[in-house]
Amino acid sequence: MRKLELHWKILIGMVLGLVFGYIMTGVAGGETFVSNWIKPLGTIFVKLLKLIAIPLILASLVKGISDLKDISKFRNIGVRTIAIYMCTTLVAIILGLLLVNIIQPGDGISEETITKLTDTYVNDSGVTSKLKTASMQKSKGPLQFLEDMVPDNAIAAMSNNRLMLQVIFFTIFLGISILLIGEKRAKPLKDFFDSLNDVVLKMVDLIMLTAPFAVFALLANVVVSAGDPELLVALLKYAGVVVLGLLIMIVFYGILVAVFTKKNPFWFLKQMSPAQLLAFSTSSSAATLPVTMERVEEHIGVDKEVSSFVLPVGATINMDGTSLYQGVAAVFIAQALAFDLPLSEQLVIVLTALLASIGTAAVPGAGMVMLVIVLESVNFPPEKLAIGLALIFAVDRPLDMFRTVVNITGDATVAALVAKSVGKFGKPKPKHWDDHLDEVK
Ligand code: ASP
């Protein structure tokens, strides 16, 4: 089994999970069995990944910044990262809007399907809870996100995975201050974070040993909790447009990697594949973050000075897949419900989807919450919002899986681009969980 590469093991786990889940849907009590006995394995795995996300950000970002030895380099990395993130997100939204306008998936959808989807999902707790969360988000002012980024209590920030940007803010502050006290006095703290960083990366390796079993559990659960297959089929054209857009984004990243880093894009995607498969299985960029960081640093060769900043920031603010989906979904809903959405209004979508992708939490289903805000920005009638969401709810989970893959691939691509541009793209140096096992024995 050791010979088989990790991504193959994960892929086998995923396929077996899908098949097992499918079989269980046909067995009496199958759904309950999966939910009681299989799902917890997947949940524990996701919890373990989330458990190490904050210590990893803390250790690797402090190490990254304090290794820089020069603050102006950090400014360079910061400016480039944000600028490239904005550009890739804009490309994603515009691509989504182009595809949905050309293919028009919402036009052919029958009244009967709309009624059926509405009846099934309009009062679904998934839809109502998303509307509620969106209305809470909306009541905030335009600069609220900056205010939210600054913690008033470092420990409180670290105790909540949703406050990742606050942790990043505190860590950057800490890292810069470590740089400023001079090498000699900073050494004990730097050594501590260096060592902590190695330890947390080892934890990632150990957790990844269970990944093939965990994805089995995660996917079996997705299959047994999926909606009526007939409704899924009705939305095939819409889902197809989103998936087509996401595939084009992957090609786009491949081109960026080839042109700007001169690396083979297939090699790049292969190195990223374990993280992509996990993103697909967990639907969460935040849960995948530790693995994304490990792959980008050890297997692609991006220096920690870059990856430790670009990736955690990307997981929270850069969501190309989600932005593309928001563009497509908003126009699809408008088409299906015959709501007029001229091109000028669609430009508003470009802006709001860009901001929404910054505000979207890196957890399953968050993109749909921000979709509400995108729809409101084009004056979509509020009384029809629930109907709009009901229309696309049936396929939201599978699309979430695909868009999360694109979200993390986008982050990794930008990390490679920024690293290349500041001369921090080195040789890959993969580590294994048992590298030091002899010393322990
Ligand atoms: N699940 C996505 C992520 O974590 C966000 C979303 O599109 O819902 O990246």
Mean pLDDT by 10 residues, the chain (441 residues): 83 96 93 96 96 94 85 89 96 97 88 86 85 75 80 95 91 92 93 94 94 96 83 86 98 98 97 97 96 96 94 93 96 93 90 84 88 91 91 92 98 97 92 85 70
pLDDT for res 230: 74
CA distance readout (Å), 171 to 104, 151, 177: 46, 11, 10
pLDDT for res 415: 98
Fold annotation for 6-430: Proton glutamate symport protein (1.10.3860)
For atom 1 of ligand 1, the residue with the nearest CA is: 364
Phi, psi of 63 (to 5 degrees): -65, -45
> Whose structure tokens read 């909306």?
138
Nearest ligand 1 atom to the CA of 287 is 4
Predicted TM-score (pTM) of this structure: 0.92
What is the distance between the alpha carbons of residues 391 and 114, in angstroms, rounded to a whole number? 7
Tens digits of residue pLDDT in 44-91: 999 999 999 999 999 999 988 888 877 888 889 999 999 999 999 999
Tens digits of residue pLDDT in 154-188: 999 999 988 989 999 999 999 999 988 988 999 99
Ligand 1 centroid–CA 51 distance in Å is 18
> Whose structure tokens read 């600028």?
83
Taking alpha carbons only, the member of 364, 19, 21, 36 closest to residue 224 is: 21
Within the chain, what is the greatest distance between any pair of CA atoms?
73
Ligand 1 centroid–CA 400 distance in Å is 6
SS3 label, residue 69: coil
Half-sphere exposure of 414 (CA within 13 A, CB side): 31
Ligand 1 centroid–CA 175 distance in Å is 29
Give the number of residues written for the chain: 441
pLDDT for res 232: 77
List 425's β-bridge partners, or say none.
302
For atom 7 of ligand 1, the residue with the nearest CA is: 367
Other beta carbons within 10 Å of 392: 26
CB within 6 Å of ligand 1 — which residues? 283-285, 319, 322, 360, 362-367, 400, 403-404, 407
What is the distance between the alpha carbons of residues 247 and 253, in angstroms, rounded to a whole number? 10
Nearest ligand 1 atom to the CA of 321 is 7
Ligand 1 centroid–CA 423 distance in Å is 31
Ligand 1 centroid–CA 136 distance in Å is 19
